[in-house]
Every structure is written in C-alpha cells, then in structure tokens.
Amino acid sequence: MKTVISTDKAPAAIGPYSQAIEVNGMVYTSGVIPVVPSTGEIPEGAAAQAEQAIGNLAELLKAAGTSVENVVKTTVFIKNMDDFGKINEIYAKFFTEPYPSRSCVEVARLPKDVLIEIEAIATK
C-alpha cells in the first residue's frame, strides 16, 4: 500500500505528482527545489540554493517520519558542474558518514530556473 506524504514546510508539487510516497517502510521523494515554502522566493547563488533545497528535503523527510540520517540514496541535479564543490560543502553539512549513495548530474534546465534539485530514498 502506498501512502502519500506532503507538508507545507517543503515546496508544494507543481504538477501531477506527490511530494513523497511511502511504501514498505521506504520513502521515495520527488525532486525538491530551493523554494522558500512560506514566501515562494528562491535564494541567490548555488550554496544558498543547496542549503534551501536540502533543508526542504529534510522537512519532507521529517513529515514522512524519517530524517536525512536514514537516506540511502540521493540524486542531485545541478545546472552547472562548476558549482559541484560549493554544493558538496552544503551537502556534507546535512549528510554524515556513512554517506548515502549519490548520483550528481548537470542538466540544461530545472523547474523555476533553479540551480539545484535533489531527490532521495530513505528508510523509516
């Protein structure tokens, strides 16, 4: 059975998808972008956007009854691979060893023209 997870502490879905789905004790998030949920604003710069996006992801995981400590896999989409180092610094503030497995890819464009989007798979 699938359970829909949603929270107003992370950006609302902007299409026909759920913020996250829980099934069999696993939480699968949709991509989370760096929108400030209370204002709709997007911070300036890759580091600030990474901080906001991963913070939003943490709130979504919290709403699902889990946390970043239980993340086993992330996928990070970034607009510019030159920002990889800055994003890694922020990423390491949220995720600790043993780090989740991760893919990081540069993409041509992201929703709302943000610089980063992140999705995760976590255990409960």
pLDDT in tens, 102-123: 999 999 999 999 999 999 999 9
In whole angstroms, give the CA distance from residue 12 to residue 36: 10
Is 97 annotated as catalytic?
no
Angle at 77 between CA 67 and CA 40, to 5 degrees: 70
Q: Which domain range does residue 9 map to?
A: 3-123
101: helix, strand or coil:
strand
pLDDT digits (tens, 9 = 90+) for 7-26: 999 999 989 999 999 999 99
Q: Would you say residue 66 has pLDDT above 90?
A: yes
Q: Residues 98, 70: contact at Cβ < 8 Å?
A: no
Q: In Å, how far from its chain's centre is CA 81? A: 17
Q: Exactly one of 21, 26, 47, 104 is catalytic; which is it? A: 104
User: Of 36, 26, 40, which Cα lies nearest the Cα of 120?
Assistant: 26
112: Cβ contacts below 8 Å, ≥ 6 apart: 33, 35, 42
Here the CATH number for the domain that contains residue 115 is 3.30.1330.40
The count of structural domains within the chain is 1
Mean pLDDT of 60-80: 98
Tokens coding 20: 């996250």
